[in-house]
Chains A and B, each alone.
Chain A
Amino acid sequence: MKNLLRDKDVTKYCVDTLKKLGADKSQVNYTHLIKKEMCVEGDKVSLLRTIHTDEVYLKAIKNNKEASLKINKINKTNLEEACKNVLALASSSPADLHKDIAAQDEARSFSHGPKEPNFDQMYLKLMNFKQVALRKYPKIILRDVILFHKYSKQFIQNSNGVDFEAGNGSYEMFTMFTAKDGKNTSSFNYDAITRMNLDGDFISWGQIDELLRQTQLQTVLRPVPENFVADVILTPLCLLDMLMYLGNELKDGKHITNTSLMKGKLNQLVLSKKFTLKALAVGDEFAEKCFVTPDGFRADNLTVFEKGVLKSNLLSQYGANKTSQGRAKNYGVNFLVESGEKSLGDMIKGIKKGILLQRFSGGMPAANGDFSGVAKNSFYIDNGEVSYPVNETMITGNIIDMFKNIENISSDFVNYGHSIMPWIQSSGLHISGK
């Protein structure tokens, strides 16, 4: 194609063009992604899919008026038009003194993970997983098994002289399954794991083996016998979902609207002393690293809560400026919840009546943190033992209270590649059946 630019030439061309067109400040991110994916449907690898995408993000500020624009074309003609358009958009914005771009930093190039996939190995591993899983758990139906390799190359430049390059390559495996026993059907269950390589059998990745085992036990379900207030053990996957709700209280949206439940709580004890949460953007334990924040700062590891004390919100530069608080070292990636001392087995033994909550299906929490939803793929705990799988069982609580009322955190944990999560036991949740 005529005028096609490559790699850093894209960002450099846009920053230069925006300057020529009169932008006071500008930031440009260009990402080139190649993703190669195999999908199993039924008894076969049914689809091999390759995608090549380009994405150029332009941000321009003129007279304190900001706008941003995304296109997926990287030739000079389209880029120049996009630069003109983003400035026209900015002129339509009201002035906001809090809009800014990242300060100058040392130019750096980062790289992590494999650039190319091994197709034959992907195919063989997928077929092997399907055979092993169905042989071990014959009542399971593997609805989806998706394995892909992706490699992204990102270039970030701005008019303050920021100049970063970051490459990330990884494999991701997603599987969703049900169990069927005659006419009895289980709920669907799933797991998603990211890895830097294809080592090990897929069935041993994440919690897949255990979830297949549990799902096969879940074709006959019943509600809990009564309504009660009890302890709930959140499994690692469920904890990850709950952290999303908690994380929302720390991000720009709720702080800017002055509705965050964590507003003004920095360095205060707000959650259980047992709870420590880190966001390890460049942690070696993770399959992917986040080297640069979306707004152009070099990212670093971060402690969000330390022994229940809020140590950092997850505010971007704009959120920080707007609310007169500090910008976070990253905005909430690669979460790690520190493990505790008790084994999962001992935690279960200590509960007279409760729920082992594998998956929570419910509405978003209300503005005050209240939530309610259904326990999915979950078990009733009776007298210290995992009893029977439940359905039509509601759990009602408050997101902040749930993290305040942590009784135990397991020594066991699961490394999903994108997060590292233990099991958490929290008290005071309302359980109700039909």
Chain B
Amino acid sequence: MTKSTIASLQDAYRTGATTPTAVATETLAHIEKHDSDINAFLDVYDSVLTQADAATAALAAQGEAAPALTGIPVALKHNIMVAGERVTAASKILEHYTGSFDATIVTKLKAAGAVLIGGTNMDEFAMGGSTENSAFGPTKNPVDPRRVPGGSSGGSAAAVAMGAVPVAIGTDTGGSIRQPASYCGVVGFKPTYGAVSRSGLLAMGSSLDQAGPVTHSVADAALVHEVISGHDPLDMTTITDRTYPPVAAKEHYRIGVPRDVLTTGVDPDVVANFEAHLKQLTAAGHDVVDIELPLFAKGLAAYYIVMPAEVSSNLARYDGLRYGTQATGETLLEVYERSRAEGFGAEVKRRILLGTYVLSAGYYDAYYGKAQAVRALMREELATVFQSVDIIATPTAPTPAFAFGAQADPLAMYQQDIFTVPVNLTGVPALSTPMGTVTREAVALPTGVQYIAPHGGDNRLFDLGRRAYDHTLSQAAA
């Protein structure tokens, strides 16, 4: 099975070369054949062929007038609520939990005619950068199964990279869509905070979380974002077209590069790919300039205060009483303590404890207060820089995909997020596209470039991404 884009499937549906039913049948066979090795999917839905038949009928009846994603297979990260389907967030505490309603983005995908294929693996409650924290075993990188696919949306990135689906939805709290997209050689997009409704996402860091697409092309990411974004009365943090000043697409962009963040801890081969990519942007007529973002690299410290603080309060809801797995205990307190002890993995416990600490009386000002102050300063710094540049470019991650077990120390693992967390802390949108490969142990491993735009600049990113990346796909196919 070739790695179809949405656009190529739509062409094939239009010409009658195939149907949603035939594609869904191939998708199921592909997963059956390859996913025992990769473990990208935690669930494949029973309703796939029923949904596909409905899409086939809709295309036959409505033709071009059928909704935007009619018959397009879509996978969903396992922290996105789907009514009647298992939603586990890759945690034991939700191992047998069934979604009680559709997330707003699921309602929108269904209305757009998408064929929902199944739920993808992830780090437990989206905490991690490798899917090694999944309670149901890690996902392997389809490019090199000895290596991690990245995370936390590792199953979503692997599902697209292995050619099972053209689209998987992920969530991104500190890089969890972009970093796995970079590791697996696919496109990943984190929208402006508030562009996509969080209603029905299992919350991790509520001031940071956004859902977005993993795809093969930037054009596909733009189409899916168009479907799932929009103001939602069920999420009062969602924005409208008027929330931010318009951010226009341009013929030539002024692209800022914060060179000070490239000097330490970044793989030299990743830097070399990045420099080569900047040359291509210059050759395409864009103006690449050096900028200074001294606070950018400090984002990681602020992030590992704000995020665990929000985690500790968001995950208080998993009490073993109202839903999820319940441990036995003589008293209510014992049930709480044992359900959470047995239900949560080590990384989740570590972050809850850290969050409890930074929010406790006496430490709140020194940690949470200061982290929020740094966040405000970062927003100011970014706003100033965006007065002189249209887009900021960095590598997406400092290294290519690492081997399983290679980042055993939590702090070392956190360093993988150095380029991605400032984006979530400030709420701006960012796009990751493939940026050439580096060879490790005779395998060409993907690397990624990240473009960052001002708030509301999602379409500007799609414009640059399409022009800088999508034409390479047609060249590869030709």
A binds B: no
